Amino acid sequence: MKRSASAAARLSDEELRALVNPGERPTLKTIARISGLAVPTVSRALGNAHDIGVTTKELVHRIADGIGYVPNRAGVRLRTGRTNVISLVVPADGDVLNNNSRLTSSIAYELRGTPFHLNVMPWFPDEDPMRPIKYIVETQSSDAVIFNMTEPEDKRVAYLLKHRFPFATHGRTKWSAQHAYYDFDNTAFMRVALRRLAARGRKNILAILPPLNQNYAQNMLNGLADESAHLKLSYRISQNVDSDKSADDIRHWVTHRLEQSPEIDAVICTSSKAAIATIVALEKQGLELGSDIDVYSKEVVSLLKMFRENIIVDHEDVGQAGRHLANAVVQLLRTPELPPLQHLEVPMDEQD
């Protein structure tokens, strides 16, 4: 029996579940029966159609959540040509201090309450990063894809642009004008780091950068070269280790470098893992952080100050990145005629 929408709105979750027939798999018809709305209206409300009122959408979503409605993906695809799935492709990395978990959770939360669901697809360091991208496009298993660790001439970006497949990147490329992205201004990060270290009297800088094939590492390298020349600082970059290596590898390399170059008075790290490993190494050398030597690091989770108060920290808002990227791909799917959403996060000290 159908009921009025106002009556359905007053039902608790327990009362909603009681209206589902025993053994029944909740469907659009179930929601229509409970809400008193027509099936097409329910379908459009779940799809957040622009011509459906906010109150109706809230009612339909509440009933759907209350009765445990799960869309039939095959049916959705047959009706709309879409899967309502967005894939996030990230490296399979066991490092709990990296930004992938924060990025994943922020994208998932931003998609909550929309018809889109997040699928996380890992790729492994020993395989071609094109593999998961090609799989998604060729199987049409997702409507859009988000990925990170971009390179200046990223083959994944070139492939997706060629196939006109919706995507957004965490990081820029040489084709950034053509696609949605969110990035942190790592050139500015390096400028800020060097200025703050110079103000503390530091003159000999060691930088532990990400793998240099990645676009953000190149941005850092540019900022390091330009600003160190301007400030008349001496710098060197890590040659045999990068911020993606294990903490033990970084610690051993920093220990060796400090033994070989005792004039180093500051280390710039580009991840929390690298910063912690560096501090362990320098303290074992008998150096006092903040006095004998400084460590300047970027972090995505606020914890380094709890580890050592004297570390100098710059924060990158990966939560905001995830929210932006989720909205960017949703816009590509709903209103593809609009310009792609793009944002460059600027370090606090560089903001006006």
Phi, psi of 277 (to 5 degrees): -60, -40
Q: Which of 19, 39, 70 delimits the end of a domain?
A: 70
CA 49 to chain centre: 27
Local confidence pLDDT in tens for the 352 residues of the chain: 445 555 666 777 777 887 887 877 888 888 888 888 888 888 888 877 788 888 888 888 888 888 888 766 555 554 555 788 999 999 876 555 567 888 999 999 999 888 899 999 988 878 899 999 999 999 888 999 999 999 999 999 999 999 999 999 999 999 999 999 999 999 999 999 999 999 999 999 999 999 999 999 999 999 999 999 999 999 999 888 999 899 999 999 999 999 999 999 999 999 999 999 999 999 999 999 999 999 999 998 888 999 999 999 999 999 999 999 999 999 999 999 999 999 999 987 776 5
Distance (Å, whole) CA 27 – CA 311: 55
Q: Are residues 225 and 284 in the same domain?
A: yes
Pair 206, 326 in one domain: no
Helix, strand and coil in the chain, % to nearest 5 = 45, 15, 35
Within-domain flag for 178: yes
For residue 158, tell me if it sits in a domain: yes
- The domain that holds 24 is classified in CATH as 1.10.260
Tell me how many domains the chain contains: 3
Q: Is residue 75 part of a domain?
A: no
User: Helix (H, G, I), strand (E, B), or coil: what is residue 40?
Assistant: helix
What SS3 class is residue 160? helix
pLDDT value of residue 1 = 47
pLDDT score of 31: 87
Let me know whether 247 and 142 are in one domain: no
Q: Same structural domain for residues 206 and 245?
A: yes
Helix (H, G, I), strand (E, B) or coil at 261: coil
Asked whether residue 131 falls in the same domain as residue 280, the answer is no
Place of tokens 């990296």: 98
Q: Looking at the structure, do residues 230 and 332 belong to the same domain, yes or no?
A: no
Identify the residue whose tokens are 């890992």: 122
* 230 and 302 inside one domain: yes
Residues 6+ apart with CB under 8 A from 95: 273
Q: Judge if 194 and 296 occupy the same domain.
A: yes
User: Do the domain assignments include residue 37?
Assistant: yes
Give residue 23's pLDDT.
Answer: 76
CATH number at residue 311: 3.40.50.2300
The pLDDT score that the predictor gives to residue 268 is: 97
Q: 157 lies in which domain range?
A: 80-184+319-350
CB-CB neighbours of 211 under 10 Å: 13
pLDDT at 282: 96
Other residues' Cβ atoms within 10 Å of the Cβ of residue 10:
9
Answer yes or no: do 204 and 280 share one domain: yes
Q: Are residues 91 and 45 in the same domain?
A: no
Domain C-terminal end among 41, 70, 99: 70
Q: Are residues 224 and 198 in the same domain?
A: yes
Same domain, yes or no, for 180 and 190?
no
